[in-house]
Amino acid sequence: LRARSASSVFKPGTNPDDVAMSDVLCDFCGREWTEDVPFIEGHRGRHVCGRCLELARAELAGGAPTGDVAPAPYTCVLCREDAADRAALRRANEPGWRSPIVDDAVMCRRCAEEAAAALAKDPDWQ
Ligand SMILES: [Zn+2]
Ligand SMILES: [Zn+2]
C-alpha cells in the first residue's frame, strides 16, 4: 500500500489527463479526497480515506465488534485476498471491517494495519 498515484479509479466523468483530488473517492464511504483527509491507495486504484481507516482499526483492534466486522468469507477491497487466499496464508479466521455504508466494501486486518503504517509516515496526518 502506498499514497495514491495516477493509476486510480476515479469519479465518473473524470478527465484522465486532468485528474483533480476531488475525483478520487474513498471506496468505503464515497468521500472525495480533500486536503483535510489523507487517502491510501490499495490495489487496482482502490482507496480508503483516513477516517474509514481509523474506524476500521478501532473495530478490528477492539476485540468487541459492534457489527461492522465481516465474517471470514469476504474479499478485501484493498488487496483482493479472499477466504481461500487467507487460509493459504494461515489467516483464515481473520476478521475484516465492513463499511457501514458500502455493503461490499470490506478490508482485511492486514490492510488496515499496513495502511495505518503508511499514514503514520505522512507528516500532514496526526
Ligand atoms: Zn472513507
Ligand atoms: Zn486486504
Contact 41, 3 (CB under 8 A): yes
DSSP labels for 23-52? GBB-TTT-PBP-SSS-EEE-GGG-EEEHHH
Give 16 Cα–ligand 1 centroid separation in angstroms: 22
**Residue 28 or 69, more confident:** 28
Mean pLDDT over residues 38-64, rounded?
86
Question: Which ligand is in closest contact with the Cα of 86?
Answer: 2
Q: Is the pLDDT of residue 4 over 60?
A: no
Q: How far apart are CA 61 and CA 35, in angstroms?
A: 27
Q: How far apart are CA 118 and CA 5, in angstroms?
A: 14
Q: Which grid coordinates are listed for 108?
A: 482485511
pTM as predicted = 0.79
